């Protein structure tokens, strides 16, 4: 698979590059665009402040420009938290998308979007302060209405970015379970 992997509000940190290496070791081609142009942040708050300065439209423009040279190949869009939100937006707008792997995040779904049988897999903490139960229920129903084929995996007691070993949220057991399931998902596409 050809995978476009987007980083979280922490920026293009070692954990994202390690995830890309894990995916490459499983036989996938992976790109990790740096939407923050080299900036990384230790806290969510710092990253969110930077994201707000850049603006949502500019971030999406950067993501589209990063994906465009490869979209004809049929990309799997993937991302961590903010990156998952961006990946979702791009995948739902790309009729050649092969799949959508969301780690720690989702996004609003524009009215009238269709994603006929697009395979979607979401991995998220339970509870997650950024992905509340009510939000996830509504998101799941909306994704179903688009025609996407959605699977959701919840990890009780894990922190929001539980796959990043350099952050306090890290949960090794949940992270390894996530990668086992996600790699199986990618192999099925």
- pLDDT above 90 covers a percentage of the chain that reads 98
Confidence of residue 186 (pLDDT cuts 50, 70, 90): very high
Three-state SS at 126: strand
CA gap 131, 159 in Å, rounded: 11
- Residue 45, Cβ neighbours under 10 Å: how many? 10
pLDDT at 174: 98
pLDDT at 16: 97
Mean confidence (pLDDT) of the chain: 96
Total domains present in the chain: 1
CATH of the domain at 92: 3.40.50.1820
pLDDT at 25: 98
**Residues 52-91 pLDDT 10s:** 999 999 999 999 999 999 999 999 999 999 999 999 999 9
**Residue 167 near residue 159, CB atoms below 8 Å:** yes
- The answer to whether the bond into 175 is cis (omega within 30° of 0) is no
Q: Where are the alpha helices (DSSP H) in 72-155?
A: 82-92, 133-146
Nearest to 102 by CA among 128, 130, 76, 127: 76
Confidence of residue 163 (pLDDT cuts 50, 70, 90): very high
Confidence of residue 176 (pLDDT cuts 50, 70, 90): very high
Radius of gyration of the chain (CA): 15
- Residue 24, Cβ neighbours under 10 Å: how many? 12
**Residues 132-150 pLDDT 10s:** 999 999 999 999 999 999 9
Q: Which domain holds residue 164?
A: 2-188
pLDDT at 19: 98
């Amino acid at each position: 698979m050809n995978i476009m992997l987007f980083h979280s509000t922490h920026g293009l940190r070692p954990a994202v590059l390690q995830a890309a290496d894990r995916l490459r070791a499983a036989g996938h081609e992976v790109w990790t665009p740096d939407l923050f142009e080299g900036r990384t942040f230790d806290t969510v708050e710092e990253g969110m402040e930077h994201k707000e300065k850049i603006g949502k439209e500019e971030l999406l423009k950067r993501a589209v420009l990063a994906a465009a040279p490869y979209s004809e190949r049929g990309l799997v869009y993937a991302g961590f938290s903010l990156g998952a939100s961006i990946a979702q937006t791009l995948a739902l707008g790309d009729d050649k998308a092969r799949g959508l792997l969301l780690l720690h995040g989702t996004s609003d779904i524009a009215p009238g979007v269709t994603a006929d049988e697009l395979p979607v897999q979401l991995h998220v903490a339970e509870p997650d302060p950024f992905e509340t139960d009510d939000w996830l229920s509504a998101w799941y129903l909306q994704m179903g209405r688009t025609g996407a084929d959605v699977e959701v995996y919840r990890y009780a007691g894990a922190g929001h970015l539980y796959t990043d070993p350099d952050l306090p949220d890290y949960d090794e057991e949940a992270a390894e379970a996530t990668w086992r399931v996600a790699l199986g998902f990618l192999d099925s596409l």
